[in-house]
Amino acid sequence: MLEIVGLDSRARDPVGKYSLGMKQRLGLAMALLPEPELLILDEPTNGLDPLGIIELRDQLRGMRDRGTTLFISSHLLGELEQVTDWLVMILEGNAVFNGPAHELVDRRGELVVEAADPTQLNLVAGIATAAGYRVTWTDSSLRIACPVDWASELQRCAAEAGAMGVTIRAREASLEEGFLAMLRGER
Please report, for the domain that includes residue 47, its CATH number: 3.40.50.300
The verdict on residue 148 lying in a domain is: yes
Between CA 66 and CA 36 the distance in angstroms is: 11
CATH number (domain holding residue 144):
3.30.70.340
Residue-number span of the structural domain to which 69 is assigned: 8-84
The torsion region of residue 6 among left (phi > 0), alpha (psi -120 to 50) and beta comes to left
Between CA 28 and CA 44 the distance in angstroms is: 8
The verdict on residue 97 lying in a domain is: no
The verdict on residue 3 lying in a domain is: no
Contacts of 181 (CB under 8 A, 6+ apart): 108, 173, 187
Q: Tell whether the model's pLDDT for residue 106 goes beyond 60.
A: no
Per-residue pLDDT reduced to its tens digit, 75-91: 888 788 788 888 888 88
Q: Tell whether the model's pLDDT for residue 178 goes beyond 80.
A: no
The verdict on residue 89 lying in a domain is: no
Q: Tell whether the model's pLDDT for residue 107 goes beyond 60.
A: no
The verdict on residue 147 lying in a domain is: yes
Q: Tell whether the model's pLDDT for residue 183 goes beyond 70.
A: yes
Per cent of the chain over pLDDT 90 is 34
Question: Both 110 and 165 in a single domain?
Answer: yes
Contact 87, 59 (CB under 8 A): no
The verdict on residue 98 lying in a domain is: no
Question: Both 75 and 111 in a single domain?
Answer: no
The verdict on residue 27 lying in a domain is: yes
The average pLDDT across 21-42 equals 89
Instruction: Please count the structural domains in the chain.
Output: 2
- Give the confidence band of 108 by pLDDT, cuts at 50, 70, 90: low
15-23: which pairs have CB atoms within 8 A and are 24 or more residues apart? 19/47, 20/46, 20/47, 21/47, 21/48, 21/49, 21/52, 23/47
First and final CA of the chain: distance in angstroms?
A: 43
In SS3 terms, 36-85 reads as CCEEEEECCCCCCCHHHHHHHHHHHHHHHHCCCEEEEECCCHHHHHHHCC
